[in-house]
Amino acid sequence: MKILVLNAGSSSQKSCLYELNDVLPDRLLQPLWEAQIDWTHQQGIAELKVKTAKGDRLEEELASDSRQAAISRMLETLWRGKTQTINDLNAIDIVGHRVVHGGQDYQQSTLISPDVKETIARLSLFAPIHNPINLEGIEIVENILPNVPQIAVFDTAFHSQLTPAAFVYPGPYKWLENGIRRYGFHGISHQYCARRAAEILGRDLPDLRLITCHLGNGCSLAAIRDGWSIDTTMGFTPLEGLMMGSRSGSIDPGILLHLLKQSDLTAEKLDDMLNRNSGLKGISGVSGDMRQIGEAITQGNQRAQLALDIYIHRLRAGIGAMLASLGGLDALIFTAGVGENSAVVRSAVCEAFGFMGLKLDGEKNQHSPVDEDIAAIDSAVRVLVIHTQEDWEIARECWKLYSD
């Protein structure tokens, strides 16, 4: 079975083609073909990069900012030219899409129908950047491959088992009736990491209490019990919770009231301030990229040091909150750009939990661990670094739904 995965971001589009058999493999499969389009480097230019399992590569600049044109070209590289992997697009059995917001409507991956598309469109109210892009991807594929089933895999679904105590905001009850509640995000990554952690530890997932720290440009935590997220730091939007690259995370809402009363701030300016000019970038004035924060600290930059200190303080506090929800912990898991690569962040975070017998193996932490347990042998809690594989998780979800 050939499964095409589309994973759309606000300024990038990733895609992979997997081939799966009748039995779902435990281990990750490498894709036959993978492609990425990046719109961030030059205005109006889409940079396309493609590689295949056979080692063929292609790089192209497309002079267009139309997503449709770029995605169509990307899919063409699957069946034409030097990265050709299949004879024609009809060889694809199923297409899986990452869809950011499934609201209260979707608790699991779902076969896309006109009704499902309508709901994804309605939920754009809650995810104005992402859901329209996800829908556009679905429609582009629908035009090119009208007879191939498509599946939506939601970033919110893994958090759909949160209890009302965890998902209802203590505002007026009407908020809840209007869908203003906590949803949580990064669910596909948290779900993949939980399953991979069980494999690495050789344990059954339902027996484990886990905290997954997804620390990329966006950052969130999930507390996982019985194989589901029972608490998480992101909420109604991906702005709640931890300090992030350029997002503030949680702040006193009174600050917003103060700013609105004292100045001529509009909703757009506030959005820009909180989503694009806060977090590591806002505090340091250097960058939202943890590597550049690290370099600035080495050069004695005090604001970069403060940014890192706040990041760690809030991360520790967030983990503390997840611990209380779980009532214990078998493994703490680090993933995504910062979680996978920053030994400094991992060790600073873990230091705070020494009181409960959590101990890092300093050597292992330093040596670029991938899918490895980096806790000391006598640690009371395991500490894992896992390379997140969202596209593979989407392919697995498609396989499961299709094979049912």
167's tokens: 């998902």
Strand partners, 211: 223, 332
- Taking the complex as a whole, the smallest distance from the CB of residue 34 to ligand ADP amounts, in Å, to 15
Q: What is d(CA 137, CA 377) in angstroms, rounded to the nearest whole number?
A: 47
Stretch that binds ligand ADP, among 62-70, 164-172, 213-221, 373-381 (CB under 6 A): 213-221
Q: What is d(CA 287, CA 292) in angstroms, rounded to the nearest whole number?
A: 6
Long-range contacts from 45-50, C-beta under 8 angstroms, 24+ separation: 46/70, 48/73, 48/74, 48/77, 50/74, 50/77, 50/83
Is residue 88 within 8 Å of residue 76, measured between CB atoms? no
Q: Which is nearer to ligand ADP, 94 or 343 (CB)?
A: 343
Stretch that binds ligand ADP, among 20-28, 69-77, 234-242, 284-292 (CB under 6 A): 284-292
Q: Residues binding ligand ADP: what is the number (CB under 6 A)? A: 12
Query: Of these, 96, 103, 137, 218, which contacts ligand ADP (CB under 6 A)?
Result: 218
Query: Of these, 217, 275, 301, 347, which contacts ligand ADP (CB under 6 A)?
Result: 217
Query: Of these, 108, 124, 341, 366, which contacts ligand ADP (CB under 6 A)?
Result: 341
State the greatest distance between any 2 C-alpha atoms of the chain, in Å, as a whole number.
63
Which residue's beta carbon is nearest to the bound ligand ADP? 337
- Taking the complex as a whole, the smallest distance from the CB of residue 186 to ligand ADP amounts, in Å, to 8
Q: Which is nearer to ligand ADP, 96 or 218 (CB)?
A: 218
Q: Which is nearer to ligand ADP, 308 or 319 (CB)?
A: 308
Catalytic residue among 56, 93, 155, 330: 155
Q: Does 350 sit near ligand ADP (CB under 6 A)?
A: no
Q: What is d(CA 86, CA 285) in angstroms, rounded to the nearest whole number?
A: 48
Query: Of these, 233, 342, 365, 379, which contacts ligand ADP (CB under 6 A)?
Result: 342
Q: Does 213 sit near ligand ADP (CB under 6 A)?
A: no
- Taking the complex as a whole, the smallest distance from the CB of residue 328 to ligand ADP amounts, in Å, to 28
- Residue 155 catalytic? yes
- Taking the complex as a whole, the smallest distance from the CB of residue 152 to ligand ADP amounts, in Å, to 20
Q: Is 203 exposed, middle or buried (0-12, 13-18, 19+ CB in 10 A)?
A: middle
Between CA 30 and CA 33, with CA 32 as vertex, the angle to 5 degrees is 110
DSSP-assigned letters across all residues of 181-239: S-----HHHHHHHHHHHHHHHTS-GGG-EEEEEEESSSEEEEEEETTEEEEES--SSTT
Under DSSP, is residue 283 helix (H, G, I), strand (E, B) or coil? Answer: helix
Query: Of these, 28, 331, 336, 384, which contacts ligand ADP (CB under 6 A)?
Result: 336
Q: Which is nearer to ligand ADP, 60 or 295 (CB)?
A: 295
Of 73-112, binders to ligand ADP (CB under 6 A) are: none
Of 125-144, binders to ligand ADP (CB under 6 A) are: none
Of 230-259, binders to ligand ADP (CB under 6 A) are: 245
Stretch that binds ligand ADP, among 120-128, 177-185, 210-218, 372-380 (CB under 6 A): 210-218
Q: What is d(CA 90, CA 81) in angstroms, rounded to the nearest whole number?
A: 17
265's tokens: 């701030």
Q: Does 385 sit near ligand ADP (CB under 6 A)?
A: no
Q: Which of 329, 403, 394, 404 is nearest to 95 (CA)?
A: 394
Residues tagged active-site: 155
- Contacting residues toward ligand ADP, per CB under 6 A: 216-218, 245, 289-291, 336-338, 341-342
